[in-house]
Structure 1
Amino acid sequence: MSNSHNPSDTRPIIPALSTLWTALEPLSWLILRVTTGILLMPHGAGKLFGLFGGYGLEGTGGYFDSIGFHPGYLFALLVGTLEFFGGALLVLGLLTRPVAAAVVVFMTVAFFIHLPNGYAWINAGVEMPIMWGMLALAVLIRGGGRFSLDHKLGYEF
C-alpha cells in the first residue's frame, strides 16, 4: 500500500472557488514573471537615472567603488541596465532565461554584500537578495511560459 497522495484526489476547501482557480491557473506564471520584472525596473531606474530615490550612475558608482567594485561607474551601469532593461525583458518574456540567469548571478553577489547586515531588509540585510534570487531562479528554470514573446517567437533559451 502506498502512502503517496494524488493531487487530483484533493477536494477544495471552498468548492465554489474551484472553477475560479481552475480558470486563473494558466495566468499564475504570467503574473509571477511580469511582477518580478515590473518590480525590478524601479531599482534600475534609480541606479541609471536617479529616479525613485536612487542616486543615479554617479552616486551608485561611488557606492560600488566604496565596496571594492572598480570601476564603480561601470558596475552601476551594468547592474542598473540589468534591473531596468532586464526587468522590461522579463515583463515581455523576451530572452527570459538569459536575463533570469544574470539576475541570479547578481543576487548571489548581492547576498554576500548584504550578509554582514543580517537577515532583515530594513537593516540592508539579505532578505531582498534572497527573494529576488529565488524569483529569478524560478523564472530561469521555467522560462517565459506560454504568454511570452520567447514562446510566441518559438525560442526558448
Structure 2
Amino acid sequence: MTDIVTGRPRPIFPALQRLYRPFDTTAETVLRVVAGVLLVTHGFGKITNPFGAVGMVEGLGFYPGVFWSPLLAATEFFGGILVAIGLFTRPAAFASMIVLLVTVYFHGIVKAEGLAGAEKSILWAAIFLYFAVRGSNAQSVDAKLGRQI
C-alpha cells in the first residue's frame, strides 16, 4: 500500500520510518556533493589544459575541437562545482549528464569496451539525470536563494 500523503510505499516496519526520515535530505545532499566534487576532480586536468582534448573530441566527431574541448573542460569543472554547491543545479546536472552520455558512447561503442567500459559513465549519467530532473534540495545555494531553474 502507498501512503496517501507522501506517495511512498508504506514501510513494513513503521518504527524504522523515524530512523530513516531525518536522513532523506542529508543522503540526497551527500550524493549531490560527492558527484559534483568527483566531477570537479575529473575535470581539473582538462581545465588546466582546456585545449588538451581537441584530438579526442574531434575523434568523436565534434568539430571544431578548439570549441568543444574547452566546453568539455568547463562543463566538467564548473558544472561539478555548481552541482556540488547546489547552484543552477538542474542545468549544470543536465550538461554534465550529456557529457557523460558521450563518454558512454566513447567507451561502449568507439573503443568497443561494451558495458564493462561504459558502466561507470552510465552510473554517473543516471546520477546527474536524477539531479537534472529533481533539482537541488533544502541544503543548497538554490534553496538559500529561494529560486531554482
Normalised to the residue count of structure 1, the TM-score between the two structures is 0.78
For residues 75 and 2 of structure 2, the distance between their equivalents in structure 1, rounded to whole angstroms, comes to 42
- The residue type paired with residue 33 of structure 1 is R
Counterpart in 2 of 1:60? 53
Name which one, 1 or 2, has greater alpha-carbon Rg.
1
Counterpart in 1 of 2:32? 33
CA contact (8 A) 1:107 1:132 kept: yes
Structure scoring higher RCO (CA < 8 A, sep ≥ 6) equals: 2
Structure 1: segments with no counterpart, 5+ residues = 50-55
For residues 43 and 21 of structure 1, the distance between their equivalents in structure 2, rounded to whole angstroms, comes to 32
CA contact (8 A) 2:90 2:131 kept: yes
Counterpart in 1 of 2:6? none
CA RMSD of aligned residues (A): 2.1
Deviations 1:24-76, CA, capped at 9 Å, x for gaps:
33301111111110010012111121xxxxxx334312222233322223211
CA contact (8 A) 2:93 2:129 kept: yes
- The residue type paired with residue 88 of structure 1 is I
CA contact (8 A) 1:47 1:60 kept: yes
Counterpart in 1 of 2:146? 154
- The residue type paired with residue 132 of structure 1 is W
Deviations 1:93-130, CA, capped at 9 Å, x for gaps:
0000011111222222222222222111xxxx211221
Please point out which of 48, 63, 79 is paired with 2:72.
79
Counterpart in 1 of 2:99? 106
1:94 counterpart SS class: coil
Per-residue deviation, 1:87: 0.4
CA contact (8 A) 2:11 2:17 kept: no
Normalised to the residue count of structure 2, the TM-score between the two structures is 0.82
Provide runs of 4+ in structure 1 moved above 6 Å. none
Q: How many residues are treated as equivalent by the alignment?
A: 141
- The residue type paired with residue 119 of structure 1 is L
Counterpart in 2 of 1:11? 13
CA 1:134/1:103 → structure 2, altered by over 3 Å: closer, same or farther? same
Per-residue deviation, 1:156: 1.5
Structure 2: segments with no counterpart, 5+ residues = 4-8
Counterpart in 2 of 1:23? 22
